Amino acid sequence: MTLDLVARLDWLSALAAFAATTLALWLLTPLAPKLRLVDHPRGRKNHPIPTPVTGGLAMIAGVLVAAVGSPVMGDGFWGFAAAAAVLIGIGVLDDIYDVRWYWRILSQVVAALIMVYASGVRVAQLGPALGLDSMALGALSVPFTVFATVGLINAINMVDGVDGLAGALVWCALLMLGAAALYAGNDLIAERMMMLMGAVAAFLMFNMRAPWRPRARLFMGNSGSAFLGLVVAWFSFRLTQNAGHPVNPVLALWLLPVPVMDTLVVMARRIRMRKSPFHPDRNHIHHLMIDAGVSVGRTVLLLCLFTLGCGFLVGQGMRADVPNPVLLAVFGVMALAWYGFSEERERALRLFARLSGESASQRAERARARLASSE
């Protein structure tokens, strides 16, 4: 296959997924009330009106339609489809009935086991991330893969609290995965990323805010965040555990630095306070930015730029032969630094207030309002 043909297939796959997802969104959204796939404002949910949660189903449908008869998905596709089906089933039930958190975790564990045993996708080697030629996980391979998959799925779910944020961060991760795959000579994964990016881009057209649309027209729902988490985990493992086209496993941590660091910090703090790690609050980074006066659009833009900036710098570091343990340590230091800095909520709010575009007097007024509301 010539490079020209590969390039054409890339774009055709992306366009097919984009068109199929857009059509699915158009067909599913009017049916959302009948299917009870509507998110109603209550509790911490502050969107003004009931909003369809059909975005995840539409992305899944778009990918399936684009993949049928295409060589892009290739081997392991049916294992991927089976794992996704488990997550989608529980996700839809959760969107309708608000399923208990432990049932969601169980479904994620089952999906990860399908990924391991039906398609052979697992984390088997961590040596390069630690600067070693080899460090096979052996019997720990399966539990490590399950833990990493469940962690990624929940990280994306927890960051899905602002219009456009989760989808945009995943799109950035897919872009970086595709770029790393091309650099490593893994054209097949690069093609798959193009297809998935097309589906996510179609969803973002309806989920991101714009000057002519002050709020999201629909959400991805728990089925969507679980599906995207599986996608990132699946292809991160396929890319970094491929001996023929090796990419260092440390890269996987830097694909989604915002949700991964944020989730680790928030869950550690909840556990320290003797709360459930899944106890809801407004201490995620996007909540802090919004509460500090940063607009939704600017929050999404800044966190995406941070993600792409981290990916670019880490990629250049790898090309410059910076030791991989150093890149791993930097990630750990950043997570610890954010844990310590965000320990004092007001301090974090003051930092983000400088990014809000508000004047000093407006920031002072907002601070007085926060103080008054806390009394």
Output the pLDDT for position 5: 43
Question: E strands, the chain, where?
Answer: 38-39, 51-52
Per-residue pLDDT of the chain (375 residues; tens, 9 = 90+): 445 444 545 678 889 999 999 999 999 999 999 999 998 876 555 666 789 999 999 999 999 888 875 655 556 778 888 999 999 999 999 999 888 889 999 999 999 999 999 888 888 877 666 655 566 788 888 999 999 999 999 999 999 989 999 999 999 999 999 988 888 888 888 888 999 999 999 999 999 998 888 899 999 999 999 999 999 999 999 888 876 666 778 888 899 999 999 999 999 999 999 888 888 888 999 999 999 999 999 999 999 999 999 999 999 998 888 888 899 999 999 999 999 999 999 999 999 998 887 665 665 665 566 555 544
Residues 197-212: b if buried by 16+ CB within 10 A, e if exposed: bbbbbbbbebbbbeee
The C-alpha atoms of residue 101 and residue 234 are separated, in whole angstroms, by 22
The C-alpha atoms of residue 4 and residue 277 are separated, in whole angstroms, by 49
Q: Identify the residue whose tokens are 């608000």.
A: 98
Output the pLDDT for position 132: 59
Reading the block at residue 104, the tokens are 């969601």
Crossing angle of helices 77-97 and 55-67, in 10° steps, is: 160
How do 38-39 and 51-52 pair as beta strands? antiparallel
Output the pLDDT for position 364: 61
> What pTM value is reported for the model?
0.91
The C-alpha atoms of residue 115 and residue 80 are separated, in whole angstroms, by 6
**Torsions phi, psi of 192, nearest 5?**
-65, -35
Secondary structure in 3-state letters for 73-139? CCCCHHHHHHHHHHHHHHHHHHHHHCCCHHHHHHHHHHHHHHHHHHHCCCCCECHHHHCCCCCECHH
The C-alpha atoms of residue 216 and residue 245 are separated, in whole angstroms, by 39
Reading the block at residue 143, the tokens are 């539990």
Q: Which of 324, 317, 320, 318 is nearest to 131 (CA)?
A: 324
